[in-house]
């Protein structure tokens, strides 16, 4: 299964937020979750708690929370992994597709995974930049990450530029459609399931990315195993540079 097929598999799972006893909140909630592949609808309930919402996936309930928590102003920007007051719902939106993220939002979400890899300081980090020239503005960040003795850093991109890593990380120059269209950052957590995380998206329109983030260790493992099996055996890099085409 390719990275694109993995995204399509996540996209196929229908996710619905049903709002009970608070019809006036539906419009606001639709706007808040406009960048998610999420349907917000009105439900009817008698008895039970007042003003609540239920999240379901493929018809199965996975979470519920009060409307006030969902309508509270976020403490931070909604950029992938940031903390929000409506955490009970977002925790279960793991692997729910986001839509139309621009490059700024993708960079913010990517930074959260890079920061986690930095804090753990061990394991494997894999990052795809579509083109190696896109890696240039991030060189200092990735050189710093690669200085952790226990952290192996792999970067991927179509070879349109020379990249000098100073021996800090590995560069995989790939003439691949999958690499050219995919943006990904995956950290294995050094074997700790609670630290594993990944962001995976494809550029379907110029500057617009569709994909998902996940904390599920099995999904993270699949992404890294796919990259390793597909690209690492034939190009492990020398850690110094990649030639210009």
Where do the DSSP E strands lie in the chain? 15-20, 39-43, 52-57, 60-66, 98-101, 122-131, 150-158, 163-164, 170-173, 182-187, 197-205, 208-214, 241-242
Among the listed residues 9, 3, 34, 176, the one whose alpha carbon sits nearest the alpha carbon of residue 98: 34
Which token pair is 65?
A: 């929370």
pLDDT of residue 184: 97
Domain boundaries, the chain: 3-95, 99-242
Annotate 140-170 with DSSP letters as a single string.
HHHHHHHTSTEEEEEEEEES-S-EE-TTSSE
Q: 65 pLDDT exceeds 90?
A: no
Say how many C-beta atoms besides its own lie within 10 A of residue 16's C-beta.
Answer: 16
pLDDT of residue 77: 42
Q: Same CATH topology for 3-95 and 99-242?
A: no
Q: Tell which phi-psi region holds residue 196, choosing left (phi > 0), alpha (psi between -120 and 50) or beta.
A: beta
Between the ranges 57-61, 70-74, 182-186, where is the mean pLDDT highest?
182-186
Lowest mean per-residue pLDDT among 81-85, 93-97, 168-172: 81-85
Lowest mean per-residue pLDDT among 53-62, 101-110, 173-182: 53-62
Q: What is the assigned CATH class of domain 3-95?
A: alpha beta
Q: What average pLDDT score do residues 84-99 get?
A: 58
pLDDT in tens, 130-180: 999 999 999 999 999 999 999 999 999 999 999 999 999 999 999 999 999
Confidence of residue 234 (pLDDT cuts 50, 70, 90): low
Distance CA 64, CA 55 (A): 6
Angle between helices 139-146 and 103-120 (to 10 degrees): 20
The angle at the Cα of 194, spanning 189 to 197, to the nearest 5 degrees, equals 55
Angle between helices 217-231 and 3-11 (to 10 degrees): 150
Distance CA 154, CA 205 (A): 26
Confidence of residue 74 (pLDDT cuts 50, 70, 90): low
Coil vs helix vs strand at 213? strand
CA 164 to chain centre: 27
- The answer to whether domain 99-242 has CATH 3.30.870.10 is yes
Query: Between residues 21 and 238, which one has the greater pLDDT?
Result: 21
Distance CA 11, CA 109 (A): 19
CA dihedral 132, 136, 141, 145 (to 10 degrees): 40
Distance CA 31, CA 28 (A): 5
């Amino acid at each position: 299964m390719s990275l694109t097929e993995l995204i399509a598999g996540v996209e196929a799972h229908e996710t619905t937020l049903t709002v009970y006893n608070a019809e006036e909140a539906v419009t606001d909630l639709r706007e808040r979750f406009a960048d998610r592949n999420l349907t917000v609808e009105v439900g009817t309930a008698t008895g039970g708690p007042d003003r609540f919402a239920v999240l379901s996936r493929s018809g199965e309930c996975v979470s519920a929370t009060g409307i006030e928590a969902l309508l509270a102003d976020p403490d931070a920007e909604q950029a992938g992994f940031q903390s929000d007051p409506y955490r009970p719902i977002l925790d279960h939106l793991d692997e729910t597709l986001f839509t139309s993220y621009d490059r700024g939002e993708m960079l913010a979400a990517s930074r959260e995974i890079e920061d986690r890899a930095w804090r753990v300081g061990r394991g494997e980090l894999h990052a795809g930049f579509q083109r190696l020239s896109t890696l240039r503005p991030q060189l200092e960040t990735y050189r710093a990450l690669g200085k952790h003795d226990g952290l192996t850093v792999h970067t991927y991109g179509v070879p349109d530029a020379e990249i000098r890593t100073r021996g800090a990380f590995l560069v995989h120059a790939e003439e691949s459609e999958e690499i050219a269209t995919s943006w990904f950052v995956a950290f294995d957590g050094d074997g700790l399931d609670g630290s594993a995380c990944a962001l995976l998206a494809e550029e379907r329109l110029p500057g617009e990315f569709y994909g998902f983030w996940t904390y599920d260790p099995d999904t993270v493992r699949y992404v890294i195993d796919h990259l390793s099996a597909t690209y690492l055996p034939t190009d492990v890099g020398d850690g110094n540079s990649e030639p210009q085409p």
